């Protein structure tokens, strides 16, 4: 009796494409939605979660979808937001446990409270695709993390042009956190933002008007590298330091039900402030 091996292979291949590999015990899958030009979030987050793994033994893997965005303009940011649902469906194919929407200013540029709508759209797209997941946005994570640790006034560094920095400032203040000072580095090209040297951040932070500030937002952007400077600035200035990346990490861990245990990235991620 003959046996059609090619038919078996076709069936197996279809089944493989239809369903992701089953989850691994003591491991979590994290989905990322990032701008196409992002070069930082997929380096800083894995490093932070590597430290969490060293402390706890729990493992994390990352699975990304990209939406086109090269220049940090309101037009390109709006176009990226319009692709959020498609990206969510794509990344949810990996049966991720949580989806992080990693473009802070793209969301904030859509107006007050936009992170709530974006998180809802992403969550609904994942559910409709048959793979529901918790959802965190960098925009929501930043404002919620500050509120969670009792911060009402911050000083902030952004890489954006001045008008977008003002927009971010107003968005944060609309969520109940006063921005006592905000420095705009005015770098419009997103790839160039990813090339900024975090070694320059301590000096920039020293120049912030910090009177009345209860924390420093050292990078209000997931693309601006900052991880190497977070602990140094926190130790030197004696204020909690939060970035878009550390806030996103904090909320991803909370969504997974995990206690932050990450050294060398500010008190937020040691679990001391939450």
- Model confidence over 212-244: pLDDT tens digits? 999 999 999 999 999 999 999 999 999 999 999
Q: What is the per-residue pLDDT for 107?
A: 87
With 70 as the cut, is the pLDDT of residue 254 above it?
yes
The whole-number average pLDDT for the span 239-262 is: 97
134 lies in the same domain as 256: yes
From 88, 187, 221, 265, active-site residue: 221
Higher pLDDT, 92 or 70: 92
Average pLDDT rounded to a whole number, residues 119-129 = 93
Asked if the structure places residue 7 within a domain, the reply is: no
Assess if residue 11 is contained within a domain: no
222 carries a ligand binding annotation:
yes
State whether 186 and 213 are in the same domain: yes
Q: What is the pLDDT at residue 271?
A: 81
Residue 105 annotated in ligand binding: yes
Q: 203 is in which domain, residue-wise?
A: 142-244
Note if 221 is an active site residue: yes
Residue 190 · residue 38 · CB < 8 Å: yes
pLDDT at 13: 43
Within-domain flag for 82: yes
Pair (53, 130) in one structural domain = yes
Residue 101 marked as a ligand binder: no
- Indicate whether 138 pLDDT > 70: yes
- Mean pLDDT, residues 67-96 taken together: 76
Whether the pLDDT of residue 157 is over 60: the answer is: yes
The chain-wide mean pLDDT, for the chain, equals: 88
Asked if 254 and 147 touch (Cβ cutoff 8 Å), the reply is no
**Count of domains for the chain:** 2
Bridge pairing between strands 27-35 and 59-67: parallel
pLDDT at 15: 45
How far is the C-alpha of 50 from the C-alpha of 6, rounded, in Å? 42
Annotated catalytic residue, options 34, 45, 103, 233: 103
Phi, psi (rounded to 5 degrees) for 177: -120, 115
Report yes or no on 182 lying in a domain. Answer: yes
DSSP per-residue codes, 151-193: --EEEEEE-S-HHHHHHHHHHHHHTT-EEEEEEE----BHHHH
Give the model confidence (pLDDT) of 190-205 as tens digits: 889 999 999 999 999 9
What number is the average pLDDT over the span 71-75?
A: 60
At residue 272, the pLDDT reads 74
Percent of the chain residues past pLDDT 90, beyond the cut? 70
pTM above the 0.85 mark? yes
Residue 272 φ then ψ, to 5° = -80, -20
Quick one: average pLDDT of 150-162? 96
- Please say if the pLDDT value at position 210 is more than 90: yes
235 and 167 belong to one structural domain: yes
87 is catalytic: no
What's the rounded Cα separation, in Å, for the pair 253 and 247?
A: 10
**Domain assignment present for 8:** no
254/135 same-domain check: yes
| Claim to verify: residue 75 and residue 114 sit in the same structural domain | yes
Distance separating alpha carbons of residues 66 and 237, to the nearest angstrom: 36
pLDDT above 70 covers a percentage of the chain that reads 85
Domain-embedded: residue 12: no
Q: Is 185 annotated as a binding residue?
A: no
Same structural domain for residues 87 and 204?
Answer: no
Residue 229 and residue 204 share a domain: yes
CA 123, CA 101: separation in Å to the nearest integer? 11
Tell me whether residue 13 is in a domain.
no
Give the CA distances from residue 239 to residues 4, 123, 165, 205, in Å, rounded to whole numbers and listed in that order: 68, 34, 22, 11
Average pLDDT on 258-264 reads 97
CATH number, domain with residue 239: 3.40.50.12500
> Is 104 known to sit in a ligand binding site?
yes
Among 48-62, 105-119, 176-190, 255-269, the least confident range: 105-119
From 250, 252, 244, select the one nearest 105 (Cα to Cα): 244
């Amino acid at each position: 009796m003959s046996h059609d091996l090619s038919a078996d292979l076709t069936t197996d291949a279809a089944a493989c494409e239809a369903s992701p590999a089953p989850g691994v015990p003591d491991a979590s899958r994290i989905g990322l939605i990032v701008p196409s030009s992002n070069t930082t979030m997929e380096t800083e987050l894995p490093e932070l979660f590597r430290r969490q793994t060293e402390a706890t033994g729990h493992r994390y893997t990352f699975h990304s979808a990209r939406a086109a965005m090269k220049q940090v303009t309101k037009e390109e940011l709006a176009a990226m937001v319009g692709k959020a649902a498609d990206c969510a469906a794509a990344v949810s194919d990996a049966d991720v446990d949580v989806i992080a929407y990693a473009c802070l200013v793209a969301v904030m540029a859509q107006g007050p409270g936009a992170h709530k709508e974006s998180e809802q759209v992403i969550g609904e797209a994942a559910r409709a695709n048959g793979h529901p997941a918790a959802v965190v946005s960098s925009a929501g994570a930043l404002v919620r993390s500050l509120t969670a640790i009792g911060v009402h006034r911050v000083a902030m560094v952004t890489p954006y042009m001045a008008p977008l920095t003002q927009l971010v400032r107003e968005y944060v203040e609309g969520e109940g956190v006063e921005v006592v000072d905000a420095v705009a580095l005015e770098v419009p090209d997103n790839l160039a933002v990813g090339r900024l040297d975090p070694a320059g951040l301590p000096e920039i932070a020293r120049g912030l008007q910090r009177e009345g500030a209860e924390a420093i937002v050292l990078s209000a952007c997931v693309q601006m590298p900052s991880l190497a400077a977070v602990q140094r600035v926190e130790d030197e200035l004696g204020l909690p330091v939060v970035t878009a990346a550390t806030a996103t990490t904090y909320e991803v861990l909370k969504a997974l039900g995990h206690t932050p245990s990450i050294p060398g990235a500010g008190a937020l991620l040691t679990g001391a402030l939450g």
